[in-house]
Amino acid sequence: MDPERLCVVLVAPRNPLNIGAAARAMSNFGFSRLRLVRPYEAAFREARSAVRAGHILAGAEEFQTVAEAAADCSLVVGTSAAGRRELQHPVRRLEYGGSLVRRRLASGRVALLFGSEKFGLSNADLAHCHWVMRVPAREEHGSMNLGQAVAVCLYELVRRPEAVTAQPERKKRPPAGSLEEFTRLLLDVLRESGYVHQRVEASTGMKIRRLVRRLDLSAHDAEIWLGMLRQILWKLGAPGSQS
Amino acid sequence: MDPERLCVVLVAPRNPLNIGAAARAMSNFGFSRLRLVRPYEAAFREARSAVRAGHILAGAEEFQTVAEAAADCSLVVGTSAAGRRELQHPVRRLEYGGSLVRRRLASGRVALLFGSEKFGLSNADLAHCHWVMRVPAREEHGSMNLGQAVAVCLYELVRRPEAVTAQPERKKRPPAGSLEEFTRLLLDVLRESGYVHQRVEASTGMKIRRLVRRLDLSAHDAEIWLGMLRQILWKLGAPGSQS
């Protein structure tokens, strides 16, 4: 996927905060080509003067029609949050539509259209689209905020499916000997504190042993715990501790 | 996953628009439990008076500490957009972290923490977290907008992985006979128009046949095309057409 090939097209946006939010989401997720069709002049001017994502807004192109804004794109996709029943277009959920857009971005330009805050994309706008991508929001809960819709769609494009099962942390595990020393020290501390009664010591030992294994400690944290336990045991005045 | 079990916790939010945007994203994606830790009073008041997502803001709970806001949750997850190197916590990408949160929501409550717009989550806030979930935004492009970060994280939770390969449209396909009639009519039209020369007719026929198959027509659209072609052929005065 070449992010340079994606054109985010805002059709008739009215709110400068939303234009700025769209640009900021683009910047966050690594996209830069912003196009505006008939933006409210004052809104566009105000958005341009905002601090964030300035380079994207400075480079934004302005068009009078959707046809002109999408002329160099080989795939034109409309977006919609609610499941509008009157749509004459194939509607694809974002999860699936996103994969199609990503694939197309490997070879050509794609225009992703977002409608105005108030009316969404008109039927005339949608007639330029090959299909419509639907953000799976709950219909009964109204439309999505424009900046949030842009962020969610772009996130789906940069999302890495393989990261779902990735092993994100490789923490070093303590050797079993450390855990056993941890167990022994903890038992000593508990015995010195009067927590463990001689009568039930054997079964308590087993319980504590399992308890320690369930902690899922890193090697580093195990060392810290051993140090703390040694100190506690010394303070308790146990005969076996290094005092 | 029970969405009622997720607590979206905004820590020290300052901007009423962001509080409102977070509530709106929750409403869009079907979540309702919003908690605020030390919100700027004026911001919270102003957000409450906004029109959208009113029921979520009306039911929002206020706390003085992260510990209190997350007390009834069995998993506490911090969020971060940039890859903060100083984090002492395991950091999981949203794709993977989302799947862990979803799994936990089947059995218990989860707190998802979002930091203030200006400072993010402090180290003191993060000390309450089991791990940190990272939205895969580009580090060099700064922080994400709070409302957009909430929307992207919640989208990941409602995302349906199986929808990636789902067959989203079940358009009725035309029988091969219709496509063949389409091909024959188009060839007739092209011959009458002088587009096809007798000399190369056989190879053109094959090309046109493939061209028509590549259109990926629905049964309904095929009928419309057949009608148009019959009309054009009639107008061209072909001997074989129904005039």
Q: Give the residue-averaged pLDDT of A145-158.
A: 96
Cα A77 from Cα A66, distance rounded (Å): 11
Instruction: Give the pLDDT score at B167.
Output: 57
Residue A32 pLDDT > 90, yes or no? yes
pLDDT in tens, B63-86: 999 999 999 988 899 998 766 555
Would you list the DSSP string of A133-197? Answer: EE----GGG-PPPHHHHHHHHHHHHH--GGGGS-----PPPPPHHHHHHHHHHHHHHHHHTT-S-
Backbone angles phi, psi at A104, to 5 degrees: -65, -30
Residue A85 pLDDT > 80, yes or no? no
Q: How confident is the model at residue A237 (pLDDT cuts 50, 70, 90)?
A: confident
**Averaged pLDDT of chain B:** 86
Instruction: Give the pLDDT score at A51.
Output: 57
Q: Which residues of B touch chain A, with CB atoms under 8 Å apart?
A: 17, 21, 24-25, 27-30, 52, 81, 90-97, 99, 135-138, 141-142, 144-145, 147-148, 151-152, 155-156, 158-161, 163-166, 168-169, 171
Q: Give the residue-averaged pLDDT of B92-118.
A: 92
What is the ipTM metric for this complex?
0.80
The SS3 call for residue B99 is helix
Instruction: Give the pLDDT score at A7.
Output: 97
Instruction: Give the pLDDT score at B25.
Output: 94
Residue B19 pLDDT > 70, yes or no? yes
**Averaged pLDDT of chain A:** 86
The answer to whether B158 contacts A171, with C-beta atoms less than 8 Å apart, is: no
Residue A117 pLDDT > 70, yes or no? yes
Instruction: Give the pLDDT score at B10.
Output: 97
Q: Pick the residue with more confidence: B142 or A156?
A: A156
Cα B226 from Cα B108, distance rounded (Å): 59
Backbone angles phi, psi at B228, to 5 degrees: -65, -45
Predicted structure pTM score:
0.81
Q: Which residues of A touch chain B, with CB atoms under 8 Å apart?
A: 17, 21, 24-25, 27-30, 52, 81, 90-97, 99, 135-138, 141-142, 144-145, 147-148, 151-152, 155-156, 158-161, 163-166, 168-169, 171
Instruction: Give the pLDDT score at B237.
Output: 82
Q: Give the residue-averaged pLDDT of B24-28.
A: 93
> Quick one: fold of A3-164?
Alpha/beta knot (3.40.1280)
Instruction: Give the pLDDT score at A135.
Output: 93
Instruction: Give the pLDDT score at B243.
Output: 43
Q: Pick the residue with more confidence: A233 or B155?
A: B155
Instruction: Give the pLDDT score at A189.
Output: 87
Task: Return residue ranges of chain A for CATH 3.40.1280.10.
Answer: 3-164
Instruction: Give the pLDDT score at B50.
Output: 64
pLDDT in tens, B196-211: 777 777 788 888 888 8
